[in-house]
Chains A and B, each alone.
Chain A
């Protein structure tokens, strides 16, 4: 089945230690999104790629970076995680901008 896969499902890191979260998709969609969701809050868009074009939300901290080496994969790099970065990180894809979004299962990040 076509799907969006995120690895790992759970990630524990130490304060200030860089971490990379992975997302892959078999849907061959053009657009890939990264959202941050904190407890009891709505998902918040960090950035998205339309093909290779990177679009950063204005309020996304510089601490967060992303890479999309090919259509199928997208990575979220947190350069120096703080306690406030503990959250669920959700990857989503859509065929085009404005189309239905399909989410992966998420990576729950804990920062010690």
Chain B
């Protein structure tokens, strides 16, 4: 049973380009969380999704950022018109959906560098 798969592992974008980060949850997991981590800082919650639904996006910047988790395929975090401040590690986590008692399984992250 493969773990949470994120790709690409490293992504370099020029300012103004779009970045697409993909996350395939563990088999059987229907809940996906996206976090951002800056150097020397903790994991900051961005968005919580279930299949075809955004449950909570209170941590997402209001502009340029969007996320989806379609019925088929991976969850996508999309950043439009990237700026240098978007450079960070982006982690995806999944859980089975029995909330309040389940640990989150994390992917290895995508390290976005904006040049």
A and B are interacting partners = no
